[in-house]
Structure 1
Amino acid sequence: MDKTTNYMYNVPMKYKLIGLDLDGTLLRSDKSLDKSTVGLLEELSKKGIHIVPITGRPLSGVPQAVREIDGVDYIISNNGSKTVDNKTGANIFSLAMTNEQSREVITEVKKTGAMLEVFTNHYGYCEKNVFEHYKDVYAGTVIGDYIFSSRKEIDSLDILFDNTGNEADEVFIICKDEADRERIKKHTDKISDIQYCMLADRFLEITKAGTDKGTALQMLCKHLEIGLSEVIAFGDGENDLQFLQKAGTAVAMGNAVDCVKDMADIITYTNDNKGVEKALKDLIGD
C-alpha cells in the first residue's frame, strides 16, 4: 500500500467513527476550518458515522465552529483525560488524577519554582504570574485567542483542590529549558501513578498514568459498540500516536512529525491543503 499523498483507492469496509485531532489536523494553521471539509463530515454523519474530535485542548478551548459540526456528539479532550457529551458538556468518561494526586503534584511542582497551570472542569487555571506571561507572549495571536478563551486566572491553584472534590485532568509546566525540565521531572518522580509528556523543548505535562487519546478512544468505541477496526483516525503530533495505533486506519497529515508518518497506514495532504477531506473522499467517497 502506497502511504504517500498519491494514493487512489477505496477500502471495502464500513467505517463507523472518524477520530480527528484538531491543531495541525482538522484546523488549518490559522485555526480556521475548511468549509468543504466540514460539509463532507456532515454528509458522512448523515450516513451514521460518528465524528469525534480528539484533542489536547480542554472543552472550553474547542472552537465553537467544531462543536457545531453536525455529527459531533462526543469530544475527547485534555489528551484523553475527558470524554464529554458535546451537547450537555457532561462527562462520559474521566481519566483524571485523584484529588489527592492533584494536590500532591501542584505542591511538588511549586517547590521547583516553575510556572504551571492546572486543567479541571473543562478549563485551564493559572495564577497571576502565568496569566501575565501569556499576555506578554501571546496577546494578539491565534494562540492567544485560544489561551484566553480557555484559561481562568485564580489567586491560588490550591483553592481549587483543598476541601473540594476536584480532580486535575492535567498539570502543564513551563520550563526554562530542557535541563530545567529534567530537573522538575526528577523532583516529581516520587509521586505514584503519574506519567509525563514532554512537548517541544521546554514544556512538561503531568497526567494520571495510562491516560492518553488511544485509551479514551477505546473506551468510547466500547460505549458505542463500535469496533476499533471501524475507526479512521487523523493526526499529526506525538500525542496522537496512541489513538492512531488503536484505529483500524491511521492517517498522518502531510505536516505530521516523522514518527507519526512512519506508523500511519496513509499519509495525506497537509492541514492547510484539505488533507482530511482528500483522504476521506478516497477512503469512503463523497
Structure 2
Amino acid sequence: MPPNDIPSEAVSGSPYTTRKKSKRYRMVALDLDGTLLSSNGTLADVQAEYLRGLSEKGFILCLATGRSARRTYDHAAKLQIPRLPIVCNNGARGLVWSPGKSEDDPVIADQFQFLVPKGVAQRAIDLANKHGFFLQYYYRDSVYANEKSESHYTCTKKYTERRGIRIQHIEDDYQEMLDKDQLPTKLLLLFDSSVDYDNALQATNDAFGPSEATIVPGSWKWSRFLEILNASNNKGMGLQHMCEQLKVPLDEVIAIGDANNDIEFLQMAGLGVAVKNAVPEVKEIADVTLDFTNDDHGPMRILQELEEKGELDFHHGRR
C-alpha cells in the first residue's frame, strides 16, 4: 500500500497547540528497536520508501540507537539515503553513512566519539572478573569478548544468532587493547538467567559514581544487560553533538523513541514523540504519545501528519 494511502490520525487530541517553540522541523531522529523497526527487527518497505522520499525533498533523517554502528548498516542500506547521520552506542559515537561498493562496504565518516576512560574500563574488567560477569568490549565497528565459562559462551552464541553480529574472542582480558589506548565506546555486561540481576546492578552502581560512568540498564527477550558509557554520554547528548555537526537547532528536531534510554533523547529535541508501545517513563516525558505502535508504522504516521500540516521544513536542502 502506498504511504499516502495510510490514515494520518497519528496522535491523541491536538498536541501541536501546546508547543512552546518552532512548529516547523527540519530533522527527525529515529530510534530503531521498538520504534522504527517492527517487533521482528525489520524495517518495513513502506516506511523506508516514505522516509527516502522525505530525504529527497530535503528533510534530514538521522538514526539514533543503542546498537553498535555495524548493526545499523543494513537498515541504512535499505533506506539508501546519501550521507545518513547515525548516532549509535547510546550516543557514544556519531557518524555519517554513505553507500559504498556493497552493503558490507559503506563509506563511513566519523563525526564524534565519547570513549570510556581507561581507568573506568579497567575497573569494569575487574568487576566482571570478581563476580564472573560476561563483559563485551565495543571498539570501533567490532565487539570483543573474553569468554571464561560455559554461560559466557552461551551468551556469545545467542548474541551472535539474535543480534546479527559476530563477536571476536580474545584471550588477554583486553589488556593489549588498553595498553594501545584502543578505548571502548561502550562496555556491556550481559547476564543470563543464572545471574541475580538486582545484585549485579547494585554491584555495578557501587563500582562507579555518577561522575565516573553512565550505567544504562536494558533487556532483550533472552537476557538482561548493563551498558557502561562515558559519564558525560547518553543518547540525548549524542543527538546534541550530531546536531552541532549538522548545524541544525535542537528545537527544529523531532525525536521518536520507546525505551528508557530514549528519555534524555526525547527531552533534548524540540518535539519528543513516544510510540504507543513505549514504556510508561518515556510516555510521561514525551510531548506526544502516538496512538500507533512500531508495528503500526507509528513514526511514519506522525511524520505524515506533520507534513500534511506544513510543519516539516524542506527549504534547507539535503545536507
Q: Give the TM-score normalised by structure 2.
A: 0.78
Give 3-state SS (helix, strand or coil) of 2:32's partner.
coil
- Return 225-234 or 60-69, whichever deviates more: 60-69
User: CA distance change for structure 1 residues 57 and 13 in 2, over 3 Å: closer, same or farther?
Assistant: same
Match of 1:17 in 2: 27
Per-residue CA deviation, residues 15-58 of structure 1 (Å, 9 max, x unaligned), is: 21110000000110111111111111111112222211100000
Q: Structure 1 vs Structure 2: percent identity of aligned residues?
A: 27
Give 3-state SS (helix, strand or coil) of 1:242's partner.
helix
Q: How far did 1:9 drift?
A: 8.2
Separation in 2 of the partners of 1:134 and 1:197?
19
Match of 2:243 in 1: 221
Q: How far did 1:113 drift?
A: 1.6
- Return 149-158 or 183-192, whichever deviates more: 183-192
**Partner of residue 94 from structure 2, selected from 83, 102, 106:** 83
Unpaired stretches in structure 2, ≥5 consecutive residues: 1-8, 99-106, 313-319
Please show how residues 125-204 of structure 1 align to structure 2 within 5 Å: 125-128=144-147, 129=149, 132-134=153-155, 137=158, 144-146=161-163, 148-175=164-191, 176-189=195-208, 193-200=212-219, 202-204=224-226
Per-residue CA deviation, residues 250-286 of structure 1 (Å, 9 max, x unaligned), is: 1101110011111112122101111111111111239
Check conservation: 2:26, 2:253, Cα contact below 8 A.
yes
Match of 2:85 in 1: 74
Check conservation: 1:58, 1:150, Cα contact below 8 A.
no
Aligned-partner residue type, residue 271 of structure 1: N
**Partner of residue 281 from structure 1, selected from 266, 289, 304:** 304
Match of 2:120 in 1: 101
Q: How far did 1:157 drift?
A: 3.6
Check conservation: 1:46, 1:71, Cα contact below 8 A.
no
User: CA distance change for structure 1 residues 79 and 135 in 2, over 3 Å: closer, same or farther?
Assistant: closer
Separation in 1 of the partners of 2:16 and 2:281?
25
Match of 2:295 in 1: 272
Check conservation: 1:9, 1:283, Cα contact below 8 A.
no
Aligned Cα root-mean-square deviation (Å): 2.7
**Partner of residue 227 from structure 2, selected from 205, 210, 213:** 205
User: CA distance change for structure 1 residues 237 and 72 in 2, over 3 Å: closer, same or farther?
Assistant: farther
Aligned-partner residue type, residue 183 of structure 2: E
Aligned-partner residue type, residue 75 of structure 2: A
Separation in 2 of the partners of 1:245 and 1:138?
31
Unpaired stretches in structure 1, ≥5 consecutive residues: none
User: CA distance change for structure 1 residues 9 and 257 in 2, over 3 Å: closer, same or farther?
Assistant: closer
Separation in 2 of the partners of 1:160 and 1:51?
38
- Return 84-93 or 8-17, whichever deviates more: 8-17
Separation in 2 of the partners of 1:27 and 1:135?
23
Give 3-state SS (helix, strand or coil) of 2:255's partner.
strand
Separation in 2 of the partners of 1:162 and 1:178?
27
- Alignment size in residue pairs: 279
- Return 169-178 or 44-53, whichever deviates more: 169-178
Aligned-partner residue type, residue 92 of structure 2: S
Aligned-partner residue type, residue 23 of structure 1: D
Per-residue CA deviation, residues 153-204 of structure 1 (Å, 9 max, x unaligned), is: 2233424524212111111113412332144225523696212122249522
Separation in 1 of the partners of 2:239 and 2:158?
34
Separation in 2 of the partners of 1:250 and 1:191?
25
- Return 107-116 or 5-14, whichever deviates more: 5-14
Match of 2:139 in 1: 120
Higher normalized contact order (CA 8 Å, seq sep 6+, divided by chain length)? 2
Q: Give the TM-score normalised by structure 1.
A: 0.87
Aligned-partner residue type, residue 74 of structure 1: P
Check conservation: 1:115, 1:173, Cα contact below 8 A.
yes
Per-residue CA deviation, residues 82-113 of structure 1 (Å, 9 max, x unaligned), is: 00121332321111112343233223332222
Separation in 1 of the partners of 2:210 and 2:304?
47
